């Protein structure tokens, strides 16, 4: 990567679900970094499935010299997975973290022996290379920090600016077609860090004074040619800067609720809305729907009544949205029933909790869609279009 700085990345093409929740059809990489100077430092480790390969790779580079420091930017096990193995192999190693880090080390792995507690702007000299630390809590965990290598101006950023998707040969942003990572970078952000947008904004502001020439995250490509590509996106997403567009999500067993969604979608198109994405909550994983919620301002959700409640797959999506609580949306709700209802009733509860602006009264049909309700759906679409067009 630079004089005496090595990329130790591993491609995971086996795992289906990251954190056992989020689909990763294009896999993911776990990136660790090694600085070989008078003192040798590792920055973060890798997922435990890669421990053996990881230890071998380190030894290939440094032979029988010991590693002096393990810098722990983030304790989530996708990066601390090899911590114990590293400490066992290099017992004299000093763990470098902040006030919150070592508590996690103890919870997951061991009572640490040699530790160096660092704080904002604290520096550590390795010889030619000087490291500076900055805490960025909640991007993605309470202990999260970044390490800035001052000699080459490399920011080791942890999860921030990371991406799903393996590194298939190309490692640097200028070696790959970034079109492939467009959705994967965004999904990594929205799925994993999206709940912590205010913290991300704080981190961006805090790191702004640093003269960063390269960003080396713990997942995905290393940014060295087009840092703006990822920085502008992170800034946009974490400030809920949304585009004119509507996501319509529905659950449907027998097609009645789906038909209602199609009517709304068509009318939005007639009104000139070009970004319309209609999703069946039973088929499309929330990972992708959440992504679009960080893109488009309109959100319309429909559910049939199901045993006096929401359709379960709609329920799951909505609880994920409530959990992440993205802001700045316009909302529409609709549903279908046959007995005593249960869909719209619960969608109203969602509307109250999420506090997005409801653009039109809820529309609920009993069974097949009849002209009167169709008109109401068209009016809902009109109300949504009006809101979006006047922004
Ligand atoms: C398993 C099941 C449970 C249902 N529970 C309710 C209910 O609690 N209240 C109600 O009004 N209708 C209930 N219904 C009726 C459906 O909400 C109704 O048939 C609706 O039109 C289905 O919409 P869909 O065609 O989009 O699937 C239930 C239907 C099924 C199959
Ligand atoms: Fe993480
Ligand atoms: Fe991670």
289: which DSSP letter?
H
C-alpha angle 334-336-338 in degrees, rounded to nearest 5: 155
253 lines ligand 1 (CB under 6 A): yes
pLDDT at residue number 246: 98
First-residue to last-residue Cα distance in the chain: 45
Nearest ligand 1 atom to alpha carbon 260:
26
CA–CA separation, 179 and 133 (whole Å): 32
Nearest ligand 1 atom to alpha carbon 366:
21
pLDDT at residue number 5: 98
Task: For ligand 1, pick from 303, 304, 312, 334 the residue to mutate: most ligand atoms within 8 Å of CB.
Answer: 304
342 lines ligand 1 (CB under 6 A): yes
C-alpha angle 111-116-120 in degrees, rounded to nearest 5: 125
Note down pLDDT in tens along the chain; length 391 residues: 998 999 999 999 999 999 999 999 999 999 999 999 999 999 999 999 999 999 999 999 999 999 999 999 999 999 999 999 999 999 999 999 999 999 999 999 999 999 999 999 999 999 999 999 999 999 999 999 999 999 999 999 999 999 999 999 999 999 999 999 999 999 999 999 999 999 999 999 999 999 999 999 999 999 999 999 999 999 999 999 999 999 999 999 999 999 999 999 999 999 999 999 999 999 999 999 999 999 999 999 999 999 999 999 999 999 999 999 999 999 999 999 999 999 999 999 999 999 999 999 999 999 999 999 999 999 999 999 999 999 8
Q: How many whole angstroms from 366 Cα to the centroid of ligand 1?
A: 9
342: which DSSP letter?
-
CA–CA separation, 114 and 69 (whole Å): 10
CA–CA separation, 303 and 252 (whole Å): 7
CA–CA separation, 129 and 150 (whole Å): 7
CA–CA separation, 333 and 331 (whole Å): 7
C-alpha angle 249-316-137 in degrees, rounded to nearest 5: 105
Find how far residue 246's CA is from the centre of its chain: 21
Of the listed ligands, the closest to the CA of 251 is 1
| φ/ψ of residue 307, rounded to 5 | 50, 50
Who's near 7: CB < 8 A, 6+ residues apart?
Answer: 1, 31, 33, 171, 216, 222
pLDDT at residue number 40: 98
């Amino acid at each position: 990567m630079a004089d005496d700085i090595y990329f130790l990345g591993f491609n995971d093409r086996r795992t289906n679900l990251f954190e056992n929740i989020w689909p990763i059809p294009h896999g993911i990489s776990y990136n660790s970094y090694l600085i070989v100077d008078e003192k040798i430092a590792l920055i973060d480790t890798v997922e435990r499935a890669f421990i053996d390969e990881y230890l071998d790779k380190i030894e290939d580079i440094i032979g029988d010299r010991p590693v002096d420091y393990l810098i722990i930017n983030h304790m989530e096990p996708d990066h601390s997975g090899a911590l114990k193995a590293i400490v066992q192999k290099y017992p004299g190693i000093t763990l470098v973290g902040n006030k919150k880090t070592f508590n996690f080390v103890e919870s997951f792995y061991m009572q640490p022996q040699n530790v160096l507690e660092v704080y904002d702007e604290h520096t550590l000299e390795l010889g030619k290379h000087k490291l500076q630390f900055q805490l960025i809590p909640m991007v993605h965990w309470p202990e999260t920090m970044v390490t800035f290598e001052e000699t080459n101006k490399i920011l080791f950023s942890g999860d921030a600016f990371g991406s799903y998707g393996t590194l298939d040969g190309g490692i640097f942003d200028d070696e790959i077609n970034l079109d492939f990572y467009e959705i994967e970078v965004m999904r990594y952000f929205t799925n994993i860090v999206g709940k912590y947008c205010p913290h991300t904004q704080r981190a961006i502001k805090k790191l702004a004074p640093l003269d960063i020439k390269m960003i080396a995250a713990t997942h995905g490509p290393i940014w060295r040619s087009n840092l703006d590509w990822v920085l502008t996106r992170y800034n946009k997403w974490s400030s809920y800067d949304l585009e004119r567009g509507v996501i319509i999500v529905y659950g449907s067993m027998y097609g009645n609720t789906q038909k209602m969604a199609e009517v709304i979608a068509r009318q939005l198109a007639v009104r000139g809305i070009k970004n319309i994405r209609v999703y069946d909550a039973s088929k499309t994983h929330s990972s992708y729907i959440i992504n679009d919620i960080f893109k488009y301002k309109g959100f319309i959700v429909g559910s049939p009544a199901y045993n006096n409640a929401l359709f379960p797959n709609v329920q799951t999506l909505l609880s994920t949205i409530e959990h992440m609580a993205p802001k700045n949306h316009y909302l529409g709700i609709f549903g279908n029933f046959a007995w005593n209802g249960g869909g719209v009733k619960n969608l109203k509860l969602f509307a109250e909790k999420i506090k997005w602006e409801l653009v039109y009264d809820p529309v609920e049909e009993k069974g097949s869609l009849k002209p009167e309700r169709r008109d109401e759906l068209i009016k809902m679409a009109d109300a949504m279009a009006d809101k979006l067009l006047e922004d």
